Amino acid sequence: MAAFAARYARAFAEVAAAQSLDAGAMQQQLRDFADAFAESKDLREVMSDPAIPHGQKLRVLDALAGRLSLSPQVRNFVAVLMDHSRLAAIADVVEAYGAVVDQQQGIVEAEVVTAHPLGEDERRSLERKIAGMAGSKIRASYREDADLLGGAVIRIGSTVYDGSVRGQLETLRLELVAQ
């Protein structure tokens, strides 16, 4: 992710907070625009073509903002990105904005790797335990790794908690070797 994306994301988050806007709604509107931008080659070409007058690009943006029901704040933010030739990085800015919103709301990302898929009850229980370990709310993503014998490996930020059977066996092996 480009370093400037975080700066733009923080600036927009400040605007949203100052105007008491719903951060989740703003994030969804930004995602909607980013999706439309990614899906339309014509839109990308129009917005990046220096031969097309700025006013014409703004009319295209306004038409799209109307179709996507973008708030004036999101429309203006996209216009700022366009004015600074940063529209091509809208996906990075949206990702960075999501991280800023998560930070504001005290949510941390947790990656959970298990040997097999977990049921809803198992996920809820594990998420409560992870939230206790993290000391904050979490957003968990799950994936399976057939190489694990059982248990789970959890990553929160740069910290890894290895509760897998393989990890426990390795710890036991190290303890036995040390004796």
| pLDDT digit string, tens, across residues 46-97 | 999 999 999 999 999 999 999 999 999 999 999 999 999 999 999 999 999 9
What the block records as the tokens of 27 is 């994030």
pLDDT band at 1 (very low <50, low <70, confident <90, very high): low
State pTM to two decimals.
Answer: 0.72
| 78's tokens | 């996209």
Angle formed at CA 156 by CA 178 and CA 108, multiple of 5 degrees: 160
Average pLDDT score over residue span 135-157: 87
pLDDT at position 104: 87
**Taking a C-beta distance cutoff of 8 angstroms, is the pair 106, 137 a contact?**
yes
Candidate from 20-29, 86-95, 113-122, 148-157 with smallest mean pLDDT: 148-157
Residue 160 has pLDDT above 70, yes or no: yes
Query: Residue 10 class from Cβ within 10 Å (0-12 exposed, 13-18 middle, 19+ buried)?
Result: middle
Work out the average pLDDT over 98-110: 89
Nearest Cα neighbor of 61 from 40, 88, 33, 85 is 33
pLDDT, position 152: 86
- Per-residue model confidence (pLDDT) at position 157: 80
State pLDDT tens for residues 8-52.
999 999 999 999 999 999 999 999 999 999 999 999 999 999 999
Q: What is the pLDDT of residue 28?
A: 96
Domains belonging to the chain, first-starting first, are 3-103 (1.10.520.20), 106-178 (3.40.30)
- Give how far Cα 66 sits from Cα of 6, 33, 149, Å: 27, 11, 52
d(CA 160, CA 179): 26
The alpha carbon of residue 95 and the mean position of all alpha carbons in its chain are separated, in whole angstroms, by: 4
